[in-house]
């Protein structure tokens, strides 16, 4: 296989990175993809940074053994904890999740934005530096979305429990007069239908996944890694691996990805790192 047609690797603590994968499939349909969900260790949000870095290195080693040409860290918490170490330790390009505070801060009219993310994301260098650079004159209402990842991973993204928890987190932000709500975890776009029920029509929900996909395309082009072999089928090949089970992955691929982009999927459970 030509080096530029090797697969793009993607990993997350669980199914959240599928929101990034969908955007990648839209703009890079000729690529092959390998997705790793660390379901056995999910969630990452409250874990120590050192633990997340060690897990990220193990997953990266697995993806490189599968001949991945670049790696998308489709997890805000893993990006915050490990992206600097990964870039220093490996020769392939890495794309991480950029906290979408910049567009929210630049476009706010009320000078007040909300950020819903994990505890690990808020502690990360990227979040802190981006906030200092772009949000110094903006009121940032931030909230740790404790319990939300578990609901998505449990197949309960549209449940009354999820709506109740989201109201608990978002209503105080609305009281701060926010007009942008940044989703700081790749799991949270699965909760978007419920979020849209809670926020008012003048609140813009900011999902960084499309921007991350565009950055992946740019990096691939800059490094000569774009696959130019045209995919003449109607399906994109994606191999899914999980350190636990792939039940939620299968369900979300069927109901979230396939209605937009048909994938030819293989699933591998209980993968040892």
Catalytically active residues are: 75, 185
Could you give the count of Cα atoms lying within 13 Å of 87 in the half-sphere of its Cβ? 13
249: which residues sit within 8 A by CB, 6+ positions away?
Answer: 15, 18, 35, 37, 240, 242, 267
Q: Give burial (CB, 10 Å; 0-12/13-18/19+) of 118.
A: buried
Distance of alpha carbon 29 from its chain centroid, rounded? 19
Identify whether the C-beta of residue 90 lies closer than 8 Å to the C-beta of residue 68. no
| Distance in angstroms (rounded) separating the CA atoms of residues 270 and 273 | 9
Q: Report, in this order, helix, strand and coil percent for the chain, each rounded to 5.
A: 45, 20, 35
Q: What is the largest CA-CA distance in the chain?
A: 55
d(CA 205, CA 200): 10
């Amino acid at each position: 296989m030509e080096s530029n047609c090797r697969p793009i690797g993607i990993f997350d603590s669980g199914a959240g990175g599928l929101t990034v994968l969908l955007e990648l499939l839209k703009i890079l349909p000729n690529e092959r993809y390998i997705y790793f969900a660390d379901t056995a260790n999910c969630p990452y949000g409250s874990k120590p940074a050192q633990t997340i870095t060690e897990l990220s290195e193990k997953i990266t080693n697995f993806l490189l053994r599968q001949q991945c040409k670049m790696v998308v860290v489709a997890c805000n918490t893993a990006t915050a904890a490990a992206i600097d170490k990964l870039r220093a330790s490996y020769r392939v390009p890495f794309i991480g999740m950029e906290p979408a505070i910049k567009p929210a801060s630049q476009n706010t009219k009320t000078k007040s934005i909300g950020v819903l993310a994990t505890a690990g994301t808020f502690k990360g260098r990227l979040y802190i530096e981006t906030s200092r650079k772009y949000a110094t004159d903006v009121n940032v209402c931030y909230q740790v979305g404790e319990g939300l990842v578990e609901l998505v991973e449990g197949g309960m993204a549209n449940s009354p429990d999820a709506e109740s928890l989201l109201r608990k987190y978002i209503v105080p932000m609305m009281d701060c007069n926010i007009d942008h709500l940044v989703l700081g975890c790749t799991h949270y776009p699965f909760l978007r239908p419920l979020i849209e029920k809670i926020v008012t029509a003048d609140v813009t929900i900011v999902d960084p996944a499309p921007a991350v996909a565009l950055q992946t395309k740019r990096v691939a082009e800059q490094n000569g890694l774009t696959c130019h072999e045209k995919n003449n089928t109607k399906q994109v090949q994606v191999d899914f691996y999980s350190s636990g089970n792939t039940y939620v992955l299968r369900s979300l691929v069927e109901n979230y990805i396939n209605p937009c982009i048909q994938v030819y999927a293989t699933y591998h459970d209980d993968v040892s790192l």
